[in-house]
Homo-oligomer: A and B are copies of this chain.
């Protein structure tokens, strides 16, 4: 599973938001905080190990991209949570009991087709 720390999450956000790949230095610059590049590289390596990030090693600054989109990743998380659920349907029942009407409507529409 993939539980991220704060900095890891910030880095993923950058990779998710901009569609293009980023180098370690670019990541460091876009993070507000004043971090050493090595710090960013460490984080990126860990994210790579967690299969959250792919690294282009053939170029000279290596370039990093998110393996999955933020939405794909979120869906994975949802399924992970539901995997520990016991009774999936009971959980979903409760869940939709608590969502705003507008969203319920959207879901109904999605389930229609």
Q: Per-residue CB proximity of A67-103 to B under 8 Å, as 1/0?
A: 0001110110111011011111111111110100001
| Chain B residue contacts of A9, Cβ below 8 A | 84
Copies of chain A in the complex:
2
Interface of A toward B, CB cutoff 8 Å? 3, 9, 16, 70-72, 74-75, 77-79, 81-82, 84-96, 98, 103-104, 106-108, 110-111
- In the bound assembly, the distance between CA atoms of A95 and B7 in angstroms comes to 27
| Chain B residue contacts of A110, Cβ below 8 A | 92-93, 96
CB pair A111–B95 under 8 Å, yes or no, is no
| Chain B residue contacts of A81, Cβ below 8 A | 74, 77-78, 81
* Ranked 8 nearest A-B pairs via Cβ: A77-B81, A74-B85, A74-B91, A75-B94, A108-B111, A71-B90, A75-B95, A71-B91
